[in-house]
Amino acid sequence: MAVAELPPSYTTQLNTFRISSLSTHLSNQRGFSVQLFRRAKRAGIYCSVTSTQIQAPVTVQAAESKNNPDCYGVFCLTYDLKAEEETKYWKKMVTIAVSGAAGMIANHLLFKLASGEVFGLDQPIALKLLGSERSFQALEGVAMELEDSLYPLLREVSISIDPYEVFQDAEWALLIGAKPRGPGMERADLLDINGKIFSEQGKALNAVASRNVKVIVVGNPCNTNALICLKNAPNIPARNFHALMRLDENRAKCQLALKAGVFYDNVSNMTIWGNHSTTQVPDFLNVRINGFPVKKVIKDHKWLEKEFTQKVQKRGGALIQKWGRSSGASTAVSIVDAMRSLITPTNEGDWFSSGVYTNGNPYGISEDLVFSMPCRSKGDGDYELVKDVIFDDYVRNRISKTEAELLAEKRCIAHLIGEGVPVCNLPTDTMLPGEM
């Protein structure tokens, strides 16, 4: 347990909005108060540690506050690992920005990140949480729960409604927050409303994030939102942007495992092609089960071509019918899986699905889209597209349909990516069940 001793000169500076918000929210919290501080450059800290742990820095005079967002509560009192950079026991801290941080998906995800499930048990992290004026009180509650969980790897938490504050120096940006589709709302309307959100967030990332930030877009329609984001962040490599397709991949693996009567870790080489919509193509042609082509294991080929795809697409809707809510926990797990796929070498011969930029792809898919394709990684945060995949007419025709849909969505948001006046003629409603 850490015990902090702060010199008398350690002071705080809060803006009026946060003072009033916090005082209202915390005044009745069982007699204790939590304050937002600006982190002193080197506050004196004493920490009780074992001989195998990093030793805390000695007491020094607190210096002038850093120019960064207000930290939250106890996280203002933790010692500054940046001073150590790297030691024998700790790595340099990783900064992760999360939008929609007061929502249900983030409520599952943040605790997985803080526990070391993504980066390992020797990797300290900083969480920078983005909310809105409407959700700010809930965001304070999220920060309080993170405080109470006593994660040793979680060294900094900050909360804000300003993306330029939250994305400052971010090395990972998990963009979950988006407006959900309401009754009577057309897909084109959703594209325009959420497109404006991701346009602004792309500009903020471009201005203040790490030049090598990895961005995973979760808010739907995630493929086109990712395209908008990367187009508004020209100083960040386009290949650093991903649209989350891992939940679709995980659902597809589950259905194949159930049909084959095997555990799902025996299913490999699963690709989801295209858009996160009902035009997506769960590609069974390249799948292997226990190392064998799927058609040699599952003899019911009609099931593969019809029921399998429908089961994957309708899984979210079926979950809502059973539980009354959307898939928050499994989405959070799929974000963890997507991150780990980029920082862990891909098993030899296998691959994973991610919505990535199509420029230079070997499949003949139109360029300048964000399209789900099979990827491999060396574990360095980057990826390469898989070339050794096979196609037949069935898969090719399905890929052409999802490609046409993404091209139509791109025309709808032309004004947000610098390509002139939008022309929106989406042929059908392809929102996945469970996302309305």
Show me where the domains of the chain are located.
Answer: 246-416
Instruction: Give mean pLDDT, residues 161-187.
Output: 90
Buried-exposed string 337-359: b where 16+ CB fall within 10 A, e elsewhere: bbbbbbbeebeeeebbbbbbbbe
Flag the least confident range among 192-196, 208-212, 225-229: 192-196
Both tokens assigned to 151: 């994660």
d(CA 69, CA 116): 24
Q: Name the residue among 224, 226, 233, 232 with its Cα closest to residue 190.
A: 224
What percent of the chain stands above pLDDT 90?
A: 69
Q: What is the pLDDT of residue 70?
A: 66
Buried-exposed string 323-333: b where 16+ CB fall within 10 A, e elsewhere: eeebbbebbbb
What are 373-383's pLDDT values in tens digits? 999 999 999 99
Which residues touch 403 (CB under 8 Å, ≥6 apart)? 274, 365, 366, 369, 371
Q: Pick 88 or 379 by higher pLDDT.
A: 379
Flag the least confident range among 14-23, 102-111, 336-345, 357-366: 14-23
Hey, what amino acid is at 362?
A: P
Q: What is the pLDDT of residue 319?
A: 85
Q: What is the pLDDT of residue 267?
A: 98
Instruction: Tell me the pLDDT band of 49, cut-offs 50, 70 and 90.
Output: very low
Given 25, 108, 276, 415, the catalytic residue: 276
d(CA 215, CA 380): 15
Instruction: Tell me the pLDDT band of 107, cut-offs 50, 70 and 90.
Output: very high
Q: What is the pLDDT of residue 39?
A: 34
Q: Name the residue among 409, 408, 363, 418 with its Cα closest to residue 385.
A: 363
Rg (C-alpha) for the chain, rounded Å, is: 23
d(CA 163, CA 172): 13
Residue 276 a catalytic site member: yes
Q: What is the pLDDT of residue 7?
A: 33
Question: For the chain, what is the mean pLDDT?
Answer: 83
Instruction: Give mean pLDDT, residues 172-181.
Output: 92
Instruction: Tell me the pLDDT band of 80, cut-offs 50, 70 and 90.
Output: low
- Classify 342 as helix, strand or coil: helix
- Kindly write down the DSSP assignment for every residue of 19-54, as one continuous string: HHHHHHHHTTSTT----EEPPPTT--EEE---TTSP
Instruction: Give mean pLDDT, residues 82-101.
Output: 77
Flag the least confident range among 14-23, 231-240, 333-342: 14-23
Instruction: Give mean pLDDT, residues 130-150.
Output: 96
d(CA 250, CA 338): 11
Asked if residues 140 and 22 have their Cβ atoms less than 8 Å apart, the reply is yes
Going along 120-273, which residue ranges are E strands?
A: 125-130, 154-160, 172-175, 214-217, 241-243, 267-268, 271-273
Tell me: cis bond preceding 152? Omega within 30 of 0 counts.
no
Q: What is the pLDDT of residue 72?
A: 81
Q: What is the pLDDT of residue 74?
A: 76
Q: Which CATH architecture has domain 246-416?
A: Alpha-Beta Complex (3.90)
Flag the least confident range among 55-59, 77-81, 300-304: 55-59
Q: Pick 74 or 133 by higher pLDDT.
A: 133
Q: What is the pLDDT of residue 435?
A: 58
Q: What is the pLDDT of residue 71?
A: 78
- Residues facing residue 217 across a β-bridge: 175, 243
pTM (2 d.p.):
0.82
Q: In this model, does residue 172 exceed pLDDT 90?
A: yes
Instruction: Give mean pLDDT, residues 69-76.
Output: 74
Q: What is the pLDDT of residue 82?
A: 53
